[in-house]
Structure 1
Amino acid sequence: MTEMPHVVVVGAGFAGVAVTRELAKRGFRVTVVDRHPYNTFQPLLYQVATGGLNAGDVTYSLRFLSAKNKANFRRTKVVGIDHDHNEVICDDGVRIPYDYLVLGTGITTNHFGIPGAAEYTMSMYTRAEALKVRDTIFGGLENIAGTSHPGTGGFTVVVVGGGPTGVEMAGSLAELKDSAIPTTYPELDPKKVHVVLVEMANALLLPFDEKLQRYTLSELVKRGVDVRLRTALSEVHPDHVVFKDGNRLDVDLVIWAAGVSGSKELNDWGVPIGRGGRIEVGTDCRVKGFDNVFAIGDVALITENPLPQLAQPAIQEGKFVARQIGRLVNGEDTEEFHYFDKGTMATIGNRAAVLQLPNGFKMTGTFAWLGWIVLHIAYLLGGRNRVQTLVNLAARYATWPRRAGAIVGDVNETPQQAKVKASKKKEQLSQRS
C-alpha cells in the first residue's frame, strides 16, 4: 500500500483540533505542532481571570489528544516555513517535512499603536494571561485589604472593548465586586471598587440585534458597571489612562479586549498577509499562491467572504479542510467553503445572557444564560474538564450570592502598585546617598 500523505497542523485551537480529528479519521499521517502542551478553551478564560474556574478546567493535554487520534505531537515554536522543500522550521533547528500544511495559529492582541497599551495593559487570550489577570486583580485587593486603613483605598479596573470578551469580563468583575468582595474582604467597601467598560462605538456587542445591545447595556449598568460608549483611549500609563477627549482617569488595572490581529511572526513565513494581520486564503481555504498550504480559524482571512473570528467558523473550516486534502489526494478539485451560522451568544453575568439565531430568534435572561453554560460545557475537550467546569460553576452560582467565593492564586502587583513601589525604592536610595 502507498503510505498516506503527511499533514502538519500548526496550532491546536478550535480549528487545529477539528482538522486533526477529521484527518485522523481519514487515515492521514498527522503531526500537530504547538508551542504549548495543551489546548485552551478560550471562551471560558474570563472565568479563570475572575476566579470562577481553575486553569486546568479549560485546558486539555495535546499529547493525549494526539495519541487518541493516532497523531504525532511536537511542542515547539515555528519560526519559518521552507516552501521550496516543504518543511516547517522550528526554533530548536528541527525541520518537519510535510506533504500538506495547515496553519491554525490563532490570533493575538492588537493594541492599534496606542502609546503604553502594550506595556501597561493585560489581555486574556492564553492560559498564562488569564492567570496573570486573576492574580493581579486579587493581588490588588489584597494590597488594599492589608493596609492600615483598608476602607480608604479604591480599586479601579478598566476593560477596553465592548465585544463579547469585554462584556463578559466586565460583567464578571461586577459580580466579583458586589458578591465576592463583601464575603471575602469584609473590611473593604465594595463601592470603592470600580469597573469601567470603554467602547469606541455607540453600542455594545455590535454584531447583535439592537434589542440585545440595549439589554446588555441595561444589565451591565444595573450591575454597577460604568459603561462609556463613543469613548476611545489615546494613552495608557501605569496609574492612569488618557481618553481622546483629553480627560484622564486614575486606574489600577487595564484589561485589553479591544481588538485582535495575526502574530507579527507570520510576516516571516512567506505567506500573504491581509487585513488584521491575517493570512489571505481563497474560498477553499488554501493560502493564496500555494497548492498544498491551508489556513483556518481566526488567523485565516477568506478575502472574498470574511468570516467572524469565532469558534464555529474555525471548527467548520477545520473539518472542511480535512475533506479538501482528501479530495486533492484523490485527484479531485477542491470545493468552496460555506459557513453554516448556528447563532451567536454572549453572557453578561449570573442569569443574564443574550442569544441570537440566524432565523431571527432572540433570547435574553436566565434561559439564554443556562443555554450558554450547557453549550460551552459541551464543547470542552474531555469528560473530566466538563465535570470539573460544571462543578465549579455550580459551586459559584447555585448558592449565589450567599457563597460567591473565588479561586485565587499568587499575589501579583498591578502596574500602578509597581510604579509606587519603584518610586519609594528610588526615594529611599536617594535619601541614603
Structure 2
Amino acid sequence: MSKHRVVVVGGGFGGLQTVHGLKGADADITLIDRRNHHLFQPLLYQVATTVLATSEIAWPIRRLFRDRRDVTTVLDEVLGIDKGAKTVKLASGRMVPYDTLVLATGARHAYFGRDEWESVAPGLKTLEDATTLRRRILLAFERAEMAEKTSELDSELTFAIIGAGPTGVEMAGMIAELANKVLPKEFRKIDTTRTRVMLIEAGPRVLPAFTEDLSAYTKTALEKLGVEVHTGKPVIAITEEGVTVGDAFIPCKTVIWAAGVQASPAARWIGASADRAGRAVVGPDLSVPEQPEIFVIGDTALVSQDDGKPVPGIAPAAKQQGEYVSKVIKTRLAGKPVPAAFHYRHQGSLATIGKRAAVIDFGKFKLTGGLAWWIWGLAHIYFLIGTRSRAAVAWSWLWIYLSGQHSARLITQKETLKDES
C-alpha cells in the first residue's frame, strides 16, 4: 500500500516549517518551488543596500533536506490545481498527485491597479529584486558622477521609497547611511552627502502597525540620518523622470516600492473565497472550507485572530502556521483527534533604522535605540539557517558597525550606466 502523499507548494518560512514538522510521519512529501533556494526575506533589504551578499541569506532547498529520504524536491512552477483528480499542474507539463495539499506560495508587490509602475519602481520580495535594486542604487551614484547638468545630478541623487512600513523604513535608513557614511570618499566630482532620500507614506505616520510613540521615534531617527519623511499624501504618478506626490512633482531617477503586497494566485487555483489582496479565506484549522485536504498558510492565507483582525504576513506567523498544519496532518494520519483551532502567538514587532538604531514592540515591553538594534540583530541571526550563515552575517554586521564600510557593493547583471528602467 502506497504512503499518503503530501504536496507542499512554496519553500518559504511556512512551507519549510511544514516539511520539518512532518518528519516521522507516514507520508511521502513533495516540496515544489520555482526557485531552488529558501530565502530569509527579512534581510533582503540588506542585500539591496550592499550590506550582505546573496549567499548569506539564501540556502539551496535540496541541501536542507538532503538527509530526509521522505522528501522529494521539485524545481518547477505551479500553473494550477485539478481538485477532481487531486493533482498539481506544473509548467513543465508534469502532474503531481496529492492526498493532502499545502499551499504556502507567498505574495508579491501590489501597485493598487497601477501595474505599469513596477518597471520604474521595483519592489523587494526575491533575490532578483534585491540585486536589481542594488544595481540601480549604485548606478545612480555612478551616473551622478558623470552628470554635466545640475538638474541631472539632483535627480540622480534623489531616492524615493514608497511606503513606510518596516521595509520602507529600513531601506530609507540604509540608503542614507550609504550616501552619508560609506561613499563620500570614493567619488571625486560629486558630494554624496547631498543625496536626497525621501520616505513617502500615504497614511498619517511611519510604521503604522507600531504604536504611535515608536512611530514618532522612528520619524525623528530617520530625519537625524537625513531622510525626508513625507506623510499624509499619496503617490499619484511614477515615471522614469520622477514621482508626483499630491500635486507636487519631484525629479527622481530611483524609486523603490514598499507600499503593498498581493497574494499569489493560489486562491484562484482552488476556487476559494479571497479578500481584496487575494488571500484565501481558511477555517480554524487553516484548511479551505469544504476542502479539508487543502491547507493554505502564510501570506497566501487570510487567517483571523481572536479579535477578528487578520494574522500579519510576517515570518513568525508563517512558521507557526506551518508547524500547526504539520501537526494536523500527522494526527489525521495517526487517526487521533486533531489539535484545537490555530492560535497565533505574536512574538513582537521589530524594525531597524540605519545601522545603529531600531525599534522593538513586545507589547508591554518597548525598546528603542542602540540596544534595540543589538537585540534586533541577535533575533535575526538566531533565525538564520546554519552556523556558517549566522557567523557570516554576524561578522558582516560587526565589520560594518566598527569600520563603516559595506562589503557587497558589486554592480552585477547589466553593466551599463544607462537607466535600465
Q: TM-score, normalised by structure 1?
A: 0.90
Distance 1:241 1:413 in 2: 26
Deviations 1:219-250 (A, max 9, x none): 0001000100102111111111122x321111
Residue aligning to 1:30: 29
Residue aligning to 1:378: 382
SS at match of 2:244: strand
- Equivalent positions of 1:319-358 (< 5 A) are 319-331=323-335, 332-333=337-338, 335-358=340-363
Which runs of 5 or more residues in structure 2 are unaligned?
none
Residue aligning to 1:251: 252
Structure 1 107/345 Cα, relative in aligned 2: closer, same or farther at 3 Å?
Answer: same
Distance 1:207 1:315 in 2: 20
Quick one: percent identity of the two aligned structures? 33
Residue aligning to 1:263: 264
- Equivalent positions of 1:199-218 (< 5 A) are 199-218=201-220
Distance 2:76 2:64 in 1: 16
Structure 1 388/251 Cα, relative in aligned 2: closer, same or farther at 3 Å?
Answer: same
Equivalent residues of 2:174, 2:353 under 8 A apart = yes
Q: Aligned-pair distance for 1:186?
A: 4.4
1:15 equivalent in alignment to 2:19: no
- Equivalent positions of 1:78-89 (< 5 A) are 78-89=78-89
1:122 equivalent in alignment to 2:122: yes
Structure 1 319/94 Cα, relative in aligned 2: closer, same or farther at 3 Å?
Answer: same
Q: Aligned-pair distance for 1:277?
A: 0.7
Deviations 1:18-51 (A, max 9, x none): 1110012434321110000001100000000010
Deviations 1:331-351 (A, max 9, x none): 334530011111111101122
- Equivalent positions of 1:284-433 (< 5 A) are 284-303=285-304, 305-331=309-335, 332-333=337-338, 335-358=340-363, 360-400=364-404, 403-404=405-406, 406-410=408-412, 417-418=419-420
Equivalent residues of 1:328, 1:334 under 8 A apart = no
2:231 pairs with 229, 232, 248, which one? 229
Deviations 1:312-369 (A, max 9, x none): 11100000000011122233345300111111111011220001113x1100111110
Distance 2:151 2:248 in 1: 27
Residue aligning to 1:425: none
Residue aligning to 2:101: 101
1:179 pairs with 181, 195, 205, which one? 181
One-letter amino acid matched to 1:340: R
Distance 2:178 2:150 in 1: 18
One-letter amino acid matched to 1:252: K
Residue aligning to 1:272: 273
Equivalent residues of 1:377, 1:389 under 8 A apart = yes
Distance 2:264 2:26 in 1: 31
One-letter amino acid matched to 2:35: H
Q: Aligned-pair distance for 1:147?
A: 4.6
Structure 1 367/93 Cα, relative in aligned 2: closer, same or farther at 3 Å?
Answer: same
Q: Aligned-pair distance for 1:396?
A: 1.5
Which runs of 5 or more residues in structure 1 are unaligned?
420-433
Q: Aligned-pair distance for 1:118?
A: 2.3
1:165 equivalent in alignment to 2:164: no
Deviations 1:112-156 (A, max 9, x none): 013742232111100000000001111121122245689982311
Q: Aligned-pair distance for 1:412?
A: 5.0
Deviations 1:31-78 (A, max 9, x none): 110000001100000000010000111100101112233311000000
Structure 1 416/229 Cα, relative in aligned 2: closer, same or farther at 3 Å?
Answer: farther
Distance 2:416 2:226 in 1: 22
Distance 1:256 1:416 in 2: 21
Residue aligning to 2:244: 242
Structure 1 265/328 Cα, relative in aligned 2: closer, same or farther at 3 Å?
Answer: closer
Q: Name the stretch that deviates more: 187-196 or 363-372.
A: 187-196
Equivalent residues of 1:297, 1:314 under 8 A apart = yes
- Equivalent positions of 1:181-196 (< 5 A) are 181-196=183-198
Structure 1 116/242 Cα, relative in aligned 2: closer, same or farther at 3 Å?
Answer: farther
Distance 1:185 1:136 in 2: 17
Distance 1:208 1:366 in 2: 18
Q: Name the stretch that deviates more: 301-310 or 337-346.
A: 301-310
SS at match of 2:44: helix
Distance 1:20 1:164 in 2: 28
- Give the number of aligned pairs: 414
Residue aligning to 1:423: none
Equivalent residues of 1:253, 1:415 under 8 A apart = no
Distance 1:9 1:116 in 2: 32
Equivalent residues of 1:184, 1:405 under 8 A apart = no
SS at match of 1:153: helix
Equivalent residues of 1:24, 1:30 under 8 A apart = no
Give the root-mean-square deviation of aligned CA atoms: 2.2
Distance 1:160 1:414 in 2: 26
Structure 1 392/346 Cα, relative in aligned 2: closer, same or farther at 3 Å?
Answer: same
Equivalent residues of 2:52, 2:407 under 8 A apart = no
Q: Aligned-pair distance for 1:265?
A: 6.3
SS at match of 1:24: coil
Q: Name the stretch that deviates more: 136-145 or 296-305.
A: 296-305
